[in-house]
Chains A and B, each alone.
Chain A
Amino acid sequence: MKRNRMLLPVLMAVLNVSACVLEPSVKVKIEIPGTPAVRLDAYREIVIADFWQEKESKDFDLNKALTEYLRDELEHQFKGKLSSQAIAWPSAEAIQDKDFWRQALANPEGRLILTGKAEFNQDVRKALLAANRRAIDDGPFAPEKAWAERKNFSLKLDIILIRPDSGEILFQKDFQETMDYENKRQPAEFAFNDLLQRVRLKLFRLLFSSEKIQERYLLSK
Chain B
Amino acid sequence: MRIRLAAGLILGCVVAFLLAGCAVFRPTDQVRFGLWASEQNLWDEAIFRWKKALAADPKSIAARNNLAVAYEKKGLFEEALKEYEEALKLDPNNTYVKSNYKNCQENIQPLKKEAPETKNEKK
In the complex, the answer to whether A221 meets B100 with C-beta atoms within 8 Å is no
Chain B residues close to A by CB (< 8 Å): 7, 11, 14-15, 18-19, 21-24, 31-32, 35, 38, 61-62, 65-66, 69, 72-75, 77, 96-97, 99-100, 103, 107-108, 111, 114-115, 117-123
User: Please, which residues of chain A bring their CB within 8 A of the CB of B97?
Assistant: 217, 219
User: Please, which residues of chain A bring their CB within 8 A of the CB of B18?
Assistant: 13-14, 17-18
Q: Is A121 an interface residue (CB 8 A)?
A: no
With A6-B11, A171-B114 as contacts: A42 and B121 at CB distance below 8 Å:
yes
Q: Majority SS of interface residues in chain B?
A: helix
C-alpha gap A206/B21 in the complex (Å): 46
Q: Is A170 an interface residue (CB 8 A)?
A: yes
C-alpha gap A17/B14 in the complex (Å): 11
With A21-B21, A35-B77 as contacts: A217 and B108 at CB distance below 8 Å:
no
Q: Majority SS of interface residues in chain A?
A: mixed
Q: Is A1 an interface residue (CB 8 A)?
A: no
Q: Is A38 an interface residue (CB 8 A)?
A: yes
C-alpha gap A37/B115 in the complex (Å): 6
Q: Is A218 an interface residue (CB 8 A)?
A: yes
Q: How large is the interface on A (under 10, 10 to 19, 20 to 34, 35 or more residues)?
A: 35 or more
* CB-defined A-B contacts under 8 Å, sample of 26: A6-B7, A10-B11, A13-B14, A17-B22, A21-B21, A21-B22, A28-B38, A30-B73, A32-B75, A33-B75, A37-B111, A38-B118, A42-B120, A42-B122, A42-B123, A169-B117, A170-B117, A171-B115, A172-B114, A173-B114, A217-B99, A218-B65, A218-B69, A219-B31, A219-B61, A220-B62
Chain A residues close to B by CB (< 8 Å): 6, 9-10, 13-14, 17-18, 20-21, 23-26, 28, 30-33, 35-39, 42-44, 109-110, 163, 168-173, 206, 214-221
CB distance from B76 to the nearest CB of A (A): 9
User: Please, which residues of chain B bring their CB within 8 A of the CB of A28?
Assistant: 38, 69
Among the interface residues A30, A36, A216, which one has the most CB atoms of the partner chain B within 10 A?
A: A216
User: A26 — nearest CB in chain B belongs to which residue?
Assistant: B35
Set B103, B114, B118: member contacting A216, Cβ < 8 A = B103
User: Please, which residues of chain B bring their CB within 8 A of the CB of A21?
Assistant: 21-23
C-alpha gap A20/B115 in the complex (Å): 45
CB distance from B62 to the nearest CB of A (A): 4
